[in-house]
Amino acid sequence: MSDYYKPHRKPDWNYGGPNWKLSRSKIDLFLECQRCFYVDNKLGVARPPGFPFNLNSAVDKLLKKEFDAYRAEKTAHPLMKEYGIDAVPFQHPRMEEWRDSLRAGVSIRHKPTGMLVRGGVDDVWVYPNGELIVVDYKATSKDGEVSLDAEWQDGYKRQMETYQWLFRQNDFKVSDTGYFVYVNGKTDRAAFDAKLEFDVSIIPYKGNDDWVEPTLHDIKKCLDSAALPTPDPLCDYCNYRKAAAEVSSAAIKKPPEEQKPAVRKSKPLEAGGTVSLF
Binding site for ligand SF4 (CB under 6 A): 33, 35-36, 231-232, 235, 237-238
Q: Which is nearer to ligand SF4, 39 or 202 (CB)?
A: 39
Q: Which is nearer to ligand SF4, 203 or 238 (CB)?
A: 238
Residue of 205, 111, 201 lying closest to 164 (CA atoms): 205
Least distance to ligand SF4, CB of residue 48, Å: 12
Q: Which is nearer to ligand SF4, 79 or 238 (CB)?
A: 238
Asked if residues 168 and 209 have their Cβ atoms less than 8 Å apart, the reply is yes
Q: Which is nearer to ligand SF4, 35 or 64 (CB)?
A: 35
Residue of 232, 141, 258, 233 lying closest to 188 (CA atoms): 141
Q: Is 143 helix (H, G, I), strand (E, B) or coil?
A: coil
Least distance to ligand SF4, CB of residue 245, Å: 12
Cα distances from 76 to residues 11, 70, 81, 84, in angstroms, run 46, 6, 7, 10
Q: H/E element holding 97?
A: helix 95-99
For residue 84, the cross-strand partners are none
Q: Which is nearer to ligand SF4, 110 or 158 (CB)?
A: 158
Spatial CB neighbours of 268, under 8 Å, sequence gap ≥ 6: none
